[in-house]
Amino acid sequence: MSQIGEGILEAIRMIVTLNPDLIKIVGLSLWVSLSAIVIATILGVLLGTWLGLKSEKKTRFINKLIFTLMGMPPVVAGLIIYLILSRQGPLGVLGLLYTPGAMIIAQVFLALPIITGLTMVGIRARGKVIEETARSLGADSRLAAWTVVKESRMAILGAVITGFGRVVAEVGAVMMVGGNIDGRTRVMTTAIVLETRKGNFELAIGLGMILLSLSFFVNSVLYTIQKGGDAHEG
Amino acid sequence: MPMKDKSPLLEMTGVSKVFQREILNIESLALQEGLIYGVIGPSGAGKSTLLRIINLLTPPTQGTYHFMGEVVQRESDRERLKFQREMALVFQKTLLFRESVWHNIAFGLKARKIPRRDVEKRVDELLAYLGMEDLAHRRGDTLSGGEAQRVAIARAVAFEPKLLLLDEPTANLDPRNVALIEDMIQGMSRDKGITVVMVTHNVFQARRVSDQVIFIDEGRIVEIGPVDRVFSPEAHRKTRAYVQGKMIY
């Protein structure tokens, strides 16, 4: 018990004094996860909107595939990306394995199905009505699609936040393709695993507290924005 | 007043829609400019499908129609837009965008890439004409059902379409809002020369508001004619049965 208490106190001290090791790990984690989420959002919103506006009958197989990938274990994602980026793999020549680039790719692979799937579900609920309303007012295809995205922003935001929650907290994929190299590919989750194994609980607890705080901050932002409500059907 | 003896604004011949069963089969329909057409008929008669086909939201299974003297093309986005931008459809379940009333009304004008200054002038003028200035900065989701429907109609007429299609515009509204919307529809037709096609289940409303009444049953136009005739003993027996509430469906 005292070990946990001491660990928390030490962790607070490290956070308050901006411990360089801690800052480096948090900075890399945020860089990797935010980059991955930006890429996954651009691709996922486009794909999810397109699928959401298509009839469910026509996209049944793709829907099943996306829903399956939404629950894909991170280690499986890590294994697939590892095999693709390994020296004998199809993209081995790029030399990305054990770099932050490989970690970003793995996280995009994990977040993309979530953002695509949740965007598709959100848009399928009301997208057609929004699209037809826009078209009936003279919108071309591009403006109609943009209006659907704009009006479904709450659902899309929820999808992005869920995707971010998934990638920032996952450990298996980034461990496999990043290698947990100190100063290069060590992120919060892989560092927590390592420090716990070493018995170095202060840093592990500090990183855990930062992860939780980040999750709380992100969810608070979502809650505040969602209070703005959704489009109105009179 | 608009000319009523010119060539029709819209001419439809041999247009049908089949979806598992035949939903609509219009042998012939001609809409004259500047008139208000009330479309009545039992539920499932094909009234809303007719509006959707005219507005190019639903492709017909067979046939096409002429609008403003041209054959309506729907193959490309550009062709579709050319015709669609001359008309507007207000759905029964109104959807207002998550913006202010002012921005909702400006939507169609912005879609037509009208210069910003002109958009501002036209939206402000329309709000003043309709006596809705007090709603300008309210958000769509703070409006009552009647207010939302009035805003939806204002949004549809802001760009002064040649043809305004209304699907049950006063369904589930209280008498005061029904009266306000009926005044609005008649005013738009009278002052701006907009041709209106209004689907309604309320035969009394069709009688109050329309110049011409179209009675549709089982996807086919049974009768089209001036209000006085459609609501007279000379009307088709099916029309008489429907307006007298004797039609069993």
Domain extent for A207: 2-227
Residue A232 lies in a domain: no
d(CA A222, CA A218): 6
pLDDT tens digits, one per residue of B63-99 = 989 999 999 877 788 888 999 999 999 998 889 998 9
For the purposes of burial, counting CB atoms within 10 Å of the CB of B49, is it exposed (0-12), middle (13-18) or buried (19 or more)? buried
CB contact (8 A) between residue A234 and residue B156? no
Does A194 reside within a domain?
A: yes
Chain A residues close to B57, C-beta within 8 Å: 132, 135-136
Percent pLDDT > 70 in chain B is 96
Answer whether residue A92 is part of any domain. yes
Size of interface A-B (CB pairs under 8 A): 83
Position A231 scores a pLDDT of 44
B159–A132 C-beta distance less than 8 A: no
What domain count does chain A have? Answer: 1
Q: What does the pLDDT read at residue B1?
A: 42
At A226 the pLDDT is 64
CATH of residue A81's domain is 1.10.3720.10
Confidence of residue B27 (pLDDT cuts 50, 70, 90): very high
- Which residue do the tokens 């461990």 mark? A175
Q: Is the pLDDT of residue B3 over 50?
A: no
Identify whether A134 is part of a domain: yes
Q: According to the model, what pLDDT value does residue B25 have? A: 95
Please tell me whether residue B195 adopts helix, strand or coil conformation.
strand
Q: Residue B26: exposed, middle, or buried by beta-carbon count in 10 A (0-12, 13-18, 19+)?
A: buried
The rounded distance, in Å, linking the Cα atoms of A166 and B174 is: 49
Q: Is the pLDDT of residue B199 over 90?
A: yes
Of chain A residues 141-170, which have a CB less than 8 A from chain B? 141, 143, 147, 150-151
Token pair belonging to B233? 């003993």
**Using CA atoms, how far apart are residues B249 and B246, in angstroms rounded to an integer?**
9
Angle, helices A153-169/A188-198, rounded to nearest 10 degrees: 30
Instruction: Assess if CATH 3.40.30.10 describes domain B10-96+143-243.
Output: no
pLDDT at position A228, please? 57
Is the sign of the CA dihedral B172, B177, B183, B188 positive or negative?
negative
**Helices A20-53, A141-151: inter-axial angle, 10-degree rounding:** 130
Q: List the one residue out of A113, A234, A87 whose CA is nearest residue A166.
A: A113
**Nearest C-alpha neighbor of A49 from the set A185, A142, A187, A186:** A142
Q: What is the pLDDT of residue B48?
A: 95
Q: B11 - beta bridge partners?
A: B30, B66
**Residue B2 — pLDDT band, cuts 50, 70, 90?**
very low
User: Which residue of B85, B107, B140 is in closest CB contact with A232?
Assistant: B140
Please give the residue of chain A at the shortest CA–CA distance from B142. A232
Q: pLDDT class for B18, splitting at 50, 70, 90?
A: very high
Tens-binned pLDDT, residue by residue, of chain A (234 aa): 567 788 788 888 888 898 898 899 999 999 999 999 999 999 999 999 999 999 888 899 999 999 999 999 999 999 999 999 999 999 999 999 999 999 999 999 999 999 999 999 999 988 999 999 999 999 999 999 999 999 998 889 889 989 998 898 899 999 999 999 998 999 999 999 999 999 888 888 888 988 888 878 877 887 777 665 544 444
- Delimit the domains of chain B by residue range: 10-96+143-243
In a domain, A207, yes or no: yes
